[in-house]
Structure 1
Amino acid sequence: MAIRVITFLILNFAALGIGGLFTGTGVTSDWYNNLSKAPWTPPGWTFGAAWTTIMVCFAFYMAYLWPSVQNKKLLVSLFSFQWILNVLWNPVFFYFQNPLLGIIVISSLTILVGVFLFKYYSTLKSQSVFILPYLLWLIIATSLNAYILIYN
């Protein structure tokens, strides 16, 4: 179990790190600071704390799920697609400053994480709680991206 958790921690935080490279000064840029943002936008420090918690929980979720799933090829495909979408959103939104493509990416990621929850709930049961922070945060993040898209 420990090896699986560590493996998924490395993969998850690699996605955050790569995505973060493309964020650069995006959060402090004039473009982002001049956007009309949703009134429910959390303070900046929340994002780091949330993503750290999410990726730790998701590592445990995947570590529990891995030995329980027969179709490893499907699981690897779903995880890989999730990983790519997770990495992709930062450059799309911050580097290319494209909220429309950003909403497509983050909505796809939200749906995919929902697929994980519902597809594998019968396999993991109560351990499915580990994916809930990811899904809930993505719902919030999608709403923030949508607000920016609509009001700017």
Structure 2
Amino acid sequence: MAGPRAGSGPPDTAAETREAAMTASLTRRPPSRGRALAGLAVFLLAVAAAALVGVLSAAGTAQEYAALRRPAWAPPSWVFGPVWTVLYVLIALAGWDVWRRRGLRGAPLALGLFAAQLVLNAAWTPLFFAADRRGAAFAVIAALLVVLTATVAAFYRRSRIAALLLVPYWAWTAFAAALNLAVWRLNA
């Protein structure tokens, strides 16, 4: 007796179930223009909220940061604002691109990692600046780098453009982690 024809009826194996789910997510219709713009606004606001945590917790700490011993390769303080402004826009666009292509159901791991890295990003500045906890800040930025690496990999499987948008952020975070470690060690 011959088995059922491929594609007729419900999937028989876990692999077929995964394949069916992947096919369904690949054939997802893109959101309407209005919904896509609303989604972009949500991603921009989420990233802006993380940035605002950083701005508020670093307010009034410029003199303190200037007084810290820093490595010779540390950039001047004025560089951070413009760099982070560009990076935050890229971060929002990357998250939005994955959501726009796959939706929340089509990329739960990728978007969950995106949210986790955003929380870690927001947690770093208060620790480094407001709380003067350079060691704890280094632990957070190291975790951020791990989660961000996983985010880039997860995004790459869904949108190479989104993954590429995160590469400058990854590079800057790696640099910031090295700077955090150096400042912590020089001022211990």
TM-score, structure 2 length as denominator? 0.73
User: Partner residue of 2:160?
Assistant: 125
1:109 to 144, 147, 152: 144
Question: 1:37 and 2:70 equivalent?
Answer: yes
Residues 33 and 44 of structure 1, relative CA distance in 2, 3 Å threshold: closer
Instruction: Write 1 or 2 for the structure with the bigger share of helix.
Output: 1
Figure out how many residues of one structure are paired with residues of the other and give that number.
Answer: 150
Kindly name which structure, 1 or 2, has the bigger radius of gyration based on alpha carbons.
Answer: 2
User: Partner residue of 1:141?
Assistant: 176
Post-superposition CA distance 1:79-103 (Å, at most 9, x none):
3322221111111111110110010
Residues 109 and 94 of structure 1, relative CA distance in 2, 3 Å threshold: same
User: Partner residue of 1:68?
Assistant: 102
* 8 Å contact from structure 1 (residues 27, 94) kept in 2: no
Q: Calculate the aligned-residue CA RMSD, in Å.
A: 1.7
User: Partner residue of 2:41?
Assistant: 6
2:160 partner letter = K
In the alignment, structure 1 segments of 5+ residues that lack a partner are none
Q: Comparing 78-87 with 40-49, which one deviates more in the overlay?
A: 78-87
In the alignment, structure 2 segments of 5+ residues that lack a partner are 1-35
Distance 2:113 2:77 in 1: 30
Residues 98 and 141 of structure 1, relative CA distance in 2, 3 Å threshold: same
The sequence identity of aligned pairs, in percent, is 27
Q: Of the two structures, which has the highest relative contact order with CA contacts closer than 8 Å and spacing of 6 or more?
A: 1
Residues 144 and 136 of structure 1, relative CA distance in 2, 3 Å threshold: same
